[in-house]
Amino acid sequence: MQSIQSYINDNKDRFLNELIELLKIPSISADSAYKTDVLKTADAIKTSLEEAGCDHVEICETDGYPIVYGEKIIDKNLPTVLVYGHYDVQPPDPLDLWNSPPFEPVIQSTELHPEGAIFARGACDDKGQMYMHVKALEYMTSHNELPCNVKFMMKVKKKLVAKT
């Protein structure tokens, strides 16, 4: 446990900076005006999986937005865990309900989060959660502590639609 906590403490600034950069991308899949940003996010997730230790990563084309697939197979005889997540976000409307711009992440202390929390579209659902799984893999591969095979399938929640 100490090793995990040390790794988190030693890499905290990097983790925050990487997540903030990911949260800045307005990957709104429900609005075709953001198609380039959704694809940029898929590329960023691919890079994150490669850097975290996946041996095979690919962007799989579909009729809509691509699926980002990655895997780390350490032993075919071991169980395999599938990590599923989304790399897109919902539209941030109505904007007047935001205390800060939705794609300009801020860290704020609140009564619920006295140590601070990141406020941005996707910070929790689902970029933040997805990012946590990628960083867990990074830790386990860098410390040779991965107990099973891992496969990642990251996709969008919505198909590409034209906003009128």
Distance CA 42, CA 68 (A): 6
Whether 162 is in a domain gets the answer: no
Whether 135 is in a domain gets the answer: yes
Q: Running DSSP on this structure, what letter comes out for residue 89?
A: B
Give the pLDDT confidence of 49-87 residue by residue, as tens digits.
999 999 999 999 999 999 999 999 999 999 999 999 999
Strands (E) in 7-163, as ranges, are 56-60, 67-72, 80-86, 106-108, 117-119, 149-155
We report the CATH number of the domain holding residue 62 as: 3.40.630.10
Whether 145 is in a domain gets the answer: yes
Distance CA 83, CA 71 (A): 10
Domain count for the chain: 1
1 has a pLDDT exceeding 90 = no
Both structure tokens of 137: 């893999």
Reported as a pLDDT band with limits 50, 70 and 90, residue 164 is very low
> Beta partners for 91?
none
Both structure tokens of 93: 């409307």
Single pTM value for the model: 0.92
Whether 33 is in a domain gets the answer: yes
Whether 160 is in a domain gets the answer: no
**Segments forming the whole domain that contains residue 92:** 2-155
Question: Which of the two residues, 22 and 163, has the higher pLDDT score?
Answer: 22
